[in-house]
Structure 1
């Protein structure tokens, strides 16, 4: 049964060491993410699942203790999923979204709570996303989800995906749906439009919508902004 969820964006710039001199620019976003993680911790789940968009090699389950790295950004920093410090033979490296999620979780004490990851492919159809969510929530015990994913990357001419006039409306609709924990509105987000606008969070948000069916959770939007032309929003469901 799903008892709580937090939605956070996953830019590596959330990590101050990666952002370096630009770290202060995302202080408000960082603070909102920290508050969202606090909501998850306060729910005292029996298990926590971190979802995040992933390329082919990072899709599927990632066990507690799996390691992610920011070395690709010139920072000698590794993080581990959950409060396990033993090496895992054969565990894959976490995709970037789950690496950022593991870093966020590291700001809170999760000892005693099993933490696992799931890399979600962006092309996953809505119906399958909802099905995956229902399967996650149907597992044993009280489940909480940390859902990583960005909005559109097309809000300005300097954005990674350049400017697209449809991007702001998509971000506003997604932020409104997540802030209200509106399952139908989240499920209605158009996968093809999300792909065109490079909204990496769409599939993960729809997995959350599936997991929340019947849970009667209330939502709160903690932060909404588009620095660097990318939509970032933070929301909690509890």
Structure 2
């Protein structure tokens, strides 16, 4: 059963070594992520599952001890998902899960075993919610760290350029995440999300499936678009 969730953005710029001189611009987001992870620790889970968007190579499960790095962003920094259990003959973590692993290490996570799941950005809503329900049944007390960004079309300089629909889409996602509204998350338009480059849509809908019937309350901790990309942080408990 799902007992808690933290929703965090997943730009590699969240890692100060990657952001370099621009690091202070996301200090408020990092603080909010730390607060959200505190809610996970307080829930005393039996298992933590980190879910985030992934390209083809990173889709599927990643065991505890799986590693990733930020070398593709020009930074010699490696991360590990949870505990070091010795050699893990697995593919590297996708960037979203690497950011999640960095957040966990930054907050000193040692409260439960950790696993990762990379989901494809175009994954259909029904499959997302089905996947979430399966994850919630993995242990008596499951917590989730859900990585994902909102639209990437909020300004002219955004990665996806300006799209007038982006603000309304992110506002709907913000309301749903802040209220732990699983129905509203499920209703997010997958085709529109793809057009707006909202990589968080699929992970958020996995969360919606996992949280159905769990009776969790939500709290929005951060909502901004500093680079024309919607970054949201929320805590469910």
Length-normalised TM-score, structure 2 = 0.98
Alpha-carbon separation, structure 1, partners of 2:24 and 2:107: 21
C-alpha contact (below 8 Å) 1:4/1:40 kept by paired residues = yes
C-alpha contact (below 8 Å) 1:64/1:81 kept by paired residues = yes
SS in 1 for 2:227: helix
Tell me the residue number matched to 2:110: 111
Structure 1 gaps, min length 5: none
Query: Offset of 1:163 from its aligned partner?
Result: 0.2
How many residue pairs align between the two structures?
A: 237
Tell me the residue number matched to 2:61: 61
Alpha-carbon separation, structure 1, partners of 2:110 and 2:205: 29
4+ residue runs over 2 A deviation: 108-112
Query: Offset of 1:112 from its aligned partner?
Result: 5.4
SS in 2 for 1:211: helix
Tell me the residue number matched to 1:12: 12
Query: Offset of 1:141 from its aligned partner?
Result: 2.1
1:78 pairs with 2:78? yes
Tell me the residue number matched to 2:44: 44
1:191 pairs with 2:190? yes
- What do residues 39-61 of structure 1 show as CA deviations (whole Å, max 9, x unaligned)? 11111100000000001110000
- What do residues 104-128 of structure 1 show as CA deviations (whole Å, max 9, x unaligned)? 0002233351100000011111111
Query: Offset of 1:193 from its aligned partner?
Result: 0.2
Query: Offset of 1:188 from its aligned partner?
Result: 0.2
Alpha-carbon separation, structure 2, partners of 1:5 and 1:84: 23
Alpha-carbon separation, structure 1, partners of 2:83 and 2:24: 28
Query: Offset of 1:216 from its aligned partner?
Result: 0.0
Tell me the residue number matched to 1:136: 135
Query: Offset of 1:87 from its aligned partner?
Result: 2.2
Tell me the residue number matched to 2:155: 156
C-alpha contact (below 8 Å) 1:9/1:232 kept by paired residues = yes
C-alpha contact (below 8 Å) 1:59/1:118 kept by paired residues = yes
CA 1:121–1:234: 2 relative to 1, 3 Å: same
SS in 2 for 1:82: coil
Tell me the residue number matched to 2:236: 237
- What do residues 140-197 of structure 1 show as CA deviations (whole Å, max 9, x unaligned)? 2200000000000000010000000000000000011000000110000000000000
Q: Give the CA RMSD over aligned residues.
A: 0.9
C-alpha contact (below 8 Å) 2:64/2:85 kept by paired residues = no
Length-normalised TM-score, structure 1 = 0.98
C-alpha contact (below 8 Å) 2:41/2:111 kept by paired residues = no
Alpha-carbon separation, structure 2, partners of 1:37 and 1:124: 26
C-alpha contact (below 8 Å) 2:45/2:111 kept by paired residues = no
